[in-house]
Amino acid sequence: MVAGPPPLQDPSSALEVSVGHEHFRNGEVTLSVDGTGAMRVVQLRSGTEREWEGRLAAERVAALSDELAALDLRTVSARGGGRDPDDDPVRLVLRSGGEAHEAQLWHADRFEDERLDRLLERWQALTEEITEGALPYGDAT
């Protein structure tokens, strides 16, 4: 068990979730949220980057912090073994107080791990909100 401060509790803390392959579907889609509520989505598709920005109100940052803390993301890990074709890599980074926790995960593990499933649901919902539905699974190929 790796304990750590709750995510997004101070302005310098941040959550970063990247999902996808650069050369398939809508590419690699990275959502970043920091403790100030600043949000950014970066799409990397076949060498081209596109960027969207947004902001969460303070109460939504607090709610997101509670939600992420309940998921205890520092203990989420990948299921070992072979991966099905087209499974998307998931990179999770939690930054706080100058330290970073990073985990390499897989999208399909969400079906076995409810915490990862909830994290990816949040990633998808926030990404759709910032990009107005273009990402992660809209028409922004």
Partner 1 sequence: MKEQVRDTEAAVETATPAPVMLPLTQHGQILALQRSAGNRAVARMIAQGSVLARDTTTVEKFVREKTLGADDVTWTARFDVRFDEDASTPTCWLTINVKLNPDGVTDDDLQMCRMRVRSRFNLLWDSKFILHEHRSILSDREWLLRPEVAFVDSGQHLTVTLHKGRGADNRQNWYTESPEYTYAHEISHQMGLLDEYANDSVPDRAVYTDHSIMGDYYTEGMTEAAAKPRHGERLAALIGAATDKNLKSRPR
Interface residues with partner 1 (CB under 8 A) are 19-26, 45-46, 78, 80-89, 104, 106-108, 111, 124, 137-138, 141
Which is closer to partner 1, CB of 5 or CB of 89?
89
Rank residues 44 and 61 by Cβ distance to partner 1 and give the closer one: 44
**Least distance (Å) from partner 1 to the CB of residue 20?**
7
Packed helices 114-131 and 58-71: angle between N→C axes, nearest 10 degrees: 160
Give least dist CB 83 to partner 1, A: 5
Name the residue among 43, 25, 8 with its Cα closest to residue 130.
43
The minimum distance between CB 81 and partner 1, in angstroms, equals 6
What is the length of the chain?
Answer: 141
Cβ nearer to partner 1, comparing 87 with 99: 87
Min dist CB 141 to partner 1, Å, is 5
Dihedral of alpha carbons 28, 29, 33, 34, sign: positive
Contact 39, 56 (CB under 8 A): yes
Nearer to partner 1, 34 or 88 (CB): 88
Checking DSSP bridges between strand 14-19 and strand 28-34, what pairing results, if any?
antiparallel
Distance CA 141, CA 72 (A): 33
